[in-house]
Amino acid sequence: MDRNLVFLPMLAQILLTVTVFVWLGIAKSKALKLGQVDLEKRALHTDAWPDHVLKISNNINNQFETPVLFYALVLMLWALNAIDAYAMIFACGYVLTRVIHLYIHTGSNIVPLRRRVFTLGIVLLLLLALLGFKAILAPYLFG
Protein backbone atom coordinates (compact mmCIF):
# COMPACT_ATOMS: atom_id res chain seq x y z
CA MET A 1 0.00 0.00 0.00
CA ASP A 2 1.26 3.47 -0.87
CA ARG A 3 1.58 5.16 2.51
CA ASN A 4 1.07 8.59 0.93
CA LEU A 5 -2.58 7.71 0.31
CA VAL A 6 -3.24 8.51 3.96
CA PHE A 7 -2.98 12.17 3.01
CA LEU A 8 -6.22 11.88 1.02
CA PRO A 9 -8.47 11.74 4.10
CA MET A 10 -6.35 14.49 5.62
CA LEU A 11 -6.91 16.66 2.55
CA ALA A 12 -10.62 15.80 2.65
CA GLN A 13 -10.80 17.05 6.26
CA ILE A 14 -9.04 20.27 5.26
CA LEU A 15 -11.43 20.72 2.34
CA LEU A 16 -14.38 20.12 4.67
CA THR A 17 -13.14 22.87 7.01
CA VAL A 18 -12.60 25.34 4.17
CA THR A 19 -16.05 24.53 2.79
CA VAL A 20 -17.66 25.33 6.16
CA PHE A 21 -15.81 28.68 6.22
CA VAL A 22 -17.16 29.53 2.75
CA TRP A 23 -20.65 28.42 3.79
CA LEU A 24 -20.45 30.66 6.88
CA GLY A 25 -19.51 33.65 4.75
CA ILE A 26 -22.46 33.04 2.45
CA ALA A 27 -24.86 32.52 5.38
CA LYS A 28 -23.68 35.71 7.08
CA SER A 29 -24.06 37.72 3.88
CA LYS A 30 -27.62 36.45 3.40
CA ALA A 31 -28.52 37.15 7.02
CA LEU A 32 -27.19 40.70 6.70
CA LYS A 33 -29.16 41.30 3.49
CA LEU A 34 -32.33 40.00 5.13
CA GLY A 35 -31.88 42.27 8.15
CA GLN A 36 -31.59 39.32 10.56
CA VAL A 37 -28.48 40.64 12.33
CA ASP A 38 -28.15 43.05 15.24
CA LEU A 39 -25.59 45.34 13.58
CA GLU A 40 -24.44 46.96 16.83
CA LYS A 41 -23.69 43.60 18.47
CA ARG A 42 -22.34 41.62 15.51
CA ALA A 43 -18.65 42.40 16.03
CA LEU A 44 -18.49 41.06 19.58
CA HIS A 45 -21.58 38.98 20.29
CA THR A 46 -22.50 35.71 18.65
CA ASP A 47 -26.13 36.19 19.65
CA ALA A 48 -26.34 39.02 17.11
CA TRP A 49 -26.65 36.34 14.40
CA PRO A 50 -29.65 34.10 13.68
CA ASP A 51 -29.54 30.48 14.83
CA HIS A 52 -28.84 29.02 11.39
CA VAL A 53 -25.66 31.14 11.19
CA LEU A 54 -24.67 30.22 14.75
CA LYS A 55 -24.91 26.51 13.92
CA ILE A 56 -22.41 26.92 11.10
CA SER A 57 -20.14 29.12 13.21
CA ASN A 58 -20.20 26.64 16.08
CA ASN A 59 -19.33 23.84 13.69
CA ILE A 60 -16.25 25.72 12.51
CA ASN A 61 -15.04 25.68 16.11
CA ASN A 62 -15.51 21.90 16.06
CA GLN A 63 -13.33 21.66 12.95
CA PHE A 64 -10.37 22.85 15.06
CA GLU A 65 -10.84 20.53 18.01
CA THR A 66 -10.44 16.79 17.38
CA PRO A 67 -9.27 17.26 13.76
CA VAL A 68 -6.04 18.70 15.16
CA LEU A 69 -5.43 15.32 16.82
CA PHE A 70 -6.30 13.60 13.54
CA TYR A 71 -3.70 15.64 11.64
CA ALA A 72 -1.04 14.91 14.26
CA LEU A 73 -1.80 11.17 14.29
CA VAL A 74 -1.75 10.86 10.51
CA LEU A 75 1.58 12.68 10.30
CA MET A 76 3.01 10.57 13.11
CA LEU A 77 1.90 7.29 11.52
CA TRP A 78 3.26 8.40 8.16
CA ALA A 79 6.62 9.37 9.72
CA LEU A 80 6.77 6.01 11.50
CA ASN A 81 6.04 4.24 8.21
CA ALA A 82 3.03 2.71 9.96
CA ILE A 83 0.37 3.33 7.33
CA ASP A 84 -1.52 0.14 6.61
CA ALA A 85 -5.06 -0.82 5.65
CA TYR A 86 -6.23 -0.28 9.23
CA ALA A 87 -4.80 3.24 9.32
CA MET A 88 -6.54 4.04 6.05
CA ILE A 89 -9.88 2.64 7.25
CA PHE A 90 -9.66 4.50 10.56
CA ALA A 91 -8.60 7.77 8.88
CA CYS A 92 -11.33 7.61 6.24
CA GLY A 93 -13.87 6.60 8.87
CA TYR A 94 -12.88 9.55 11.04
CA VAL A 95 -13.40 12.03 8.20
CA LEU A 96 -16.75 10.42 7.43
CA THR A 97 -17.81 10.97 11.05
CA ARG A 98 -16.83 14.64 10.69
CA VAL A 99 -19.02 14.98 7.59
CA ILE A 100 -21.97 13.32 9.36
CA HIS A 101 -21.36 15.45 12.45
CA LEU A 102 -21.42 18.59 10.28
CA TYR A 103 -24.70 17.50 8.69
CA ILE A 104 -26.34 16.89 12.08
CA HIS A 105 -24.81 19.93 13.79
CA THR A 106 -25.92 22.39 11.11
CA GLY A 107 -29.23 20.66 10.44
CA SER A 108 -31.46 19.01 13.02
CA ASN A 109 -28.78 19.39 15.73
CA ILE A 110 -30.14 16.43 17.67
CA VAL A 111 -27.55 16.37 20.44
CA PRO A 112 -27.74 12.66 21.40
CA LEU A 113 -27.27 11.66 17.75
CA ARG A 114 -24.49 14.20 17.30
CA ARG A 115 -22.79 12.88 20.44
CA ARG A 116 -22.87 9.29 19.13
CA VAL A 117 -21.24 10.33 15.86
CA PHE A 118 -18.67 12.42 17.75
CA THR A 119 -17.91 9.46 20.03
CA LEU A 120 -17.37 7.18 17.04
CA GLY A 121 -14.89 9.72 15.69
CA ILE A 122 -13.06 9.70 19.03
CA VAL A 123 -12.91 5.90 18.98
CA LEU A 124 -11.37 6.04 15.50
CA LEU A 125 -8.79 8.54 16.76
CA LEU A 126 -7.97 6.21 19.64
CA LEU A 127 -7.52 3.35 17.19
CA LEU A 128 -5.13 5.50 15.15
CA ALA A 129 -3.25 6.29 18.37
CA LEU A 130 -3.03 2.57 19.18
CA LEU A 131 -1.46 2.00 15.76
CA GLY A 132 1.09 4.64 16.72
CA PHE A 133 1.85 2.91 20.02
CA LYS A 134 2.20 -0.38 18.17
CA ALA A 135 4.62 1.12 15.66
CA ILE A 136 6.74 2.71 18.37
CA LEU A 137 6.75 -0.18 20.85
CA ALA A 138 6.80 -3.21 18.52
CA PRO A 139 10.60 -3.26 18.10
CA TYR A 140 11.04 -3.25 21.88
CA LEU A 141 8.36 -5.81 22.63
CA PHE A 142 8.90 -8.20 19.75
CA GLY A 143 12.62 -7.76 19.11
Q: Torsions phi, psi of 44, nearest 5?
A: -120, -10
Mean pLDDT (10-residue bins), the chain, 143 residues: 95 98 97 92 86 95 96 98 97 98 96 98 98 93 77
What are the structural domains, with CATH classification, of the chain?
3-137 (1.20.120.550)
C-alpha torsion angle, residues 113, 114, 116, 120 (rounded to 10) = 140
Distance CA 64, CA 31 (A): 24
Q: Sign of the C-alpha dihedral, residues 26, 68, 61, 124?
A: positive
pTM of the model: 0.93
Query: Which value, in Å, is the radius of gyration of the alpha carbons in the chain?
Result: 19
